[in-house]
Structure 1
Amino acid sequence: MSPYAAFGVALTFVAAYGVGRLDGARLERAEQDRAALAVETASREGRETTAKAISSIRVQNTTIQQRLEREVRREPVYSDPGCRLTPGGLRDLNEALTGTGAVAGGGGLPASDATR
């Protein structure tokens, strides 16, 4: 084999290796771009879902605390180790848990200083 043919074969292998490396790098960049896009999409969907869940939270203040505090001081049943609720206390507690009781402040928001 002549030296030129050997050099040509070696040059062909080097060129093939270089092309393979460039192609592999291009494929790796494409895979990283796909992964980054998947992370961004999942992050955006997570933020949207969280925002919807937070916006659906309804805060409700009830006014049973004072009624139950008076009842605890007044009723002897609360000093009992069984600590059972009286009918009135049970009704107040059920109203608070189900949201059917009285809402503090009538359920409205106070006016802001800018509107006064």
Structure 2
Amino acid sequence: MDMYQREPVGEGAHQEIFPEEVERWRRRGASIVDVREGWEYERGHLPGAANVPLGELPERMGELGKGPIVLVCASGNRSEQGARFLSRSGFGEVANLLGGTVGWARRGRPLE
């Protein structure tokens, strides 16, 4: 399956969530996955987020488990691509963090 392939509307369904919703997802056991490159991740990431760069997602998705997942990047674009890919690949509860780490920080939320 090609992660960058465009799919018809309705396939690859995932949720788009705001920073205020991340804690609710965490309480439900969601993993936070940052799909930026390692050097971007090191400059600051959501607390507890794992780093799986978008380009590595197809071969590393087995590391993610099947529980809820929130994907994040700098702005929400790369993580949206990753969320579509995971949803099409059979992951049931996948969300994209709107605004990414930039939006997260602008709302006064901490980065590690």
TM range (shorter): under 0.3
Q: Name which structure has the greater RCO, CA cutoff 8 Å, separation 6+.
A: 2
Comparing both structures, which one devotes a greater share of its residues to strand?
A: 2
Please tell me whether Structure 1 or Structure 2 has the larger radius of gyration of its CA atoms. Answer: 1
The structure where helix makes up a greater share of residues is 1
TM-score, normalised via structure 1 length? 0.19
Task: Give TM-score scaled by structure 2 length.
Answer: 0.19
